[in-house]
Amino acid sequence: MWEMMEEAFDSELFRTRAHEAVDRLADAFAQGQAGDVPVRSGESPEKAFERWDHYQGDDFVNDVIEQAFRVHHPRNLGHQVGPVLPEVAVMDLVGCFLDTGSGIFEVGNPSIPMERVVMMDLVKRFGLPSGAGGVLTSGGSLGNLTALLAMRQKMTESWDSGSHECRYAVLVSEEAHYCVSRAVKMMGWGDEGVIAVSVDDEYRMRADAAREALVSARARGIQVLGLIGSAGSTATGRIDPLDELADLCEHEGLWFHVDAAHSGAFVFSKKMSPLLKGIGRADSIVVDFHKMLLSSGLLTAVLFKKEDDSYQTFAQKADYLWSKEETREWWDLAKRTLECTRPMLGLRAYTALRAGREGLFEEYIDHMMARTREFASIVQDAPDFELFLKPESNILCYRYVPEKVESGLLNELNEKVRSEVIKGGEFYLVQMEKHQQVYLRSTIISPYVTGEVFQSLLENIRNVGARLITSFCD
């Protein structure tokens, strides 16, 4: 038994294996960047399960890499999963092995003070006032829940008493990510707790519709605690009119939360940050580092205009971690997050920010926006494609509309085209549906994508489409 432990924890073996793994990764990274390999393996879930259930291979690292989706690949045109900065990956290995936890400072140095540095940097960039601060969480879903729990406590002080008899709700754009309504349901407010606000022709939340929904909810005896704006929304990447929504919240005494999981990164770009006008007036903001800030997931900043609010969220005793629940030391982060044991999130964010501060984030964001506009104009110029909306972020929706296919068959055609196109692993794209119409959806997130990639994607869709159209006509 002890012999096995000795081998498993042998530091020289670790050195050799880690060097080998990094060599493999660097090779795979270079191949992925160049687009010399498929962006994803076409293996079915059943076959994949079978492979790992009976795995007998002798090159585990290689087999894992071969089957894994390649986020850096130029033809990765799907979800909002960003390319990981090599330096972040290196420090992830360091952080993973040190694994000090970062709930309390006694064991959380250096990740916790690093987390503080990152938060203070973001506070300034988002234009939040002094007294603002925040924490890192594992993902935007948890980040939004954390912010909404703070809102609930600030507005109702129901942490201890519960909220059994109350009818609480928030105003949310009908375009918001599903995790917002999931968070509300976790708080026990049911369907009534999410008041969907309609959007304008550009898919941005309408402030006048939010005001009307507020009046109507109050007339029904519902206590509306807050409003949640999106920057940008998941399906179309649209940014709500944040300044106007902040006016409404200020006037009506609502908590203003902005889910900026995707486009919050725009604060790093002089060209793009004006789109976030008004975000500095929010009570809380969520921004994902693993979307547009070149970090591995999950890594989300939750910022509060009044840092004090975040100490109330989970106000409870934990004698084994801290002696006083009412004191507010920034270095005991578990007081303010759902997570108790936490990975070294601060180390990861600090590593990314060191590169980002030097202008890397700005260069990346501006480059991806330029590529997205290029893709949009290629789609617009193609008579057999239709652009859904001009891009406001690096998310683009479009559909294949060949002349000979009647409109009633276009949804089926686009769905089938997508599933055929991704089967071979040459491209990856996703889809979305608006007004009962299916669109293809791409996040232009790989720094290696080029105009030729977009042209060849459209060509690929046409080729697959031509085959399918023949079978439609049979």
Ligand X SMILES: Cc1ncc(COP(=O)(O)O)c(C=O)c1O
Give the binding site for ligand X (CB under 6 A).
80, 139-141, 177, 179, 230, 234, 259, 261-262, 288, 298, 300
**Minimal distance, residue 295 CB to ligand X, in Å:** 11
Q: What share of the chain is helix, strand, coil (3-state, %, to 5)?
A: 50, 15, 35
Q: What does the alpha-carbon distance between residue 404 and residue 417 come to, in Å, rounded to a whole number?
A: 15
How far, in Å, CA of 227 to CA of 287, rounded? Answer: 17
Report DSSP state, residue 194. Answer: E
Q: Report the SS3 class of residue 76.
A: strand
Q: Closer to ligand X by CB, 279 or 298: give it.
A: 298
For residue 181, the minimal CB distance to ligand X (Å) is 11
How is the beta sheet containing 395-400 ordered, strand by strand? 76-77, 428-434, 437-443, 395-400, 385-387
Complex with ligand X: residue 28 or 184, whichever CB lies closer: 184
Q: Looking at beta carbons only, is 153 or 236 nearer to ligand X?
A: 236
Ranked by CB distance to ligand X, the top (closest) residue is 140
Given the complex with ligand X, which of 181 and 273 has the nearer CB atom?
A: 181
Give the DSSP H or E segment for 367.
helix 360-381
Query: Cα-flanking dihedrals φ and ψ of residue 76, to 5°?
Result: -80, 95
Nearest to 375 by CA among 363, 362, 391, 364: 391
Shortest approach of ligand X to residue 139 CB, angstroms? 3
> Closest approach of Cβ 39 to ligand X, in Å?
19
CB nearer to ligand X: pick between 86 and 139:
139
State the amino acid at position 419 in one-letter form: S
Q: Least CB distance from residue 175 to ligand X, whole Å?
A: 9
Residue 300 vs 394, nearer CB to ligand X = 300
Q: How far is the CB of 285 from ligand X (least distance, A)?
A: 12
**Least distance CB 193 / ligand X (angstroms):** 18
Residue 419 to residues 18, 101, 427: CA-CA distances in angstroms?
A: 37, 41, 11
Q: Give me Rg for the CA atoms of the chain.
A: 24
Please give the torsion angle defined by the CA atoms of residues 173, 178, 179 and 180, in that order, rounded to the nearest 10 degrees. Answer: 20
Nearer to ligand X, 102 or 300 (CB): 300
Helix and strand numbers (H, E) in the chain are 17, 12
Shortest distance (Å) from residue 239 CB to ligand X: 11
DSSP class of 226: E
The nearer residue to ligand X, 259 or 392, going by C-beta atoms, is: 259
Nearer to ligand X, 288 or 362 (CB): 288
Nearest distance in Å: CB 445, ligand X: 12
Nearer to ligand X, 144 or 273 (CB): 144
Nearest to 281 by CA among 152, 59, 438, 126: 126
The closest alpha carbon to 102, from 282, 299, 296, 241, belongs to 299
H helical segments located in 36-131: 45-53, 60-67, 86-98, 105-108, 111-125
Query: Using CA atoms, how far apart are residues 173 and 236, in angstroms rounded to an integer?
Result: 13
CA–CA distance, 198 with 304 (Å, rounded to integer): 27
- State which residue, 282 or 298, has the beta carbon closest to ligand X: 298
Question: Nearest approach, Cβ of 272 to ligand X (angstroms)?
Answer: 16
Closest approach of Cβ 21 to ligand X, in Å? Answer: 26
Say if CB 198 and CB 138 are below 8 A apart.
no
Other CB atoms within a 10 A radius of the CB of residue 33 amount to: 16
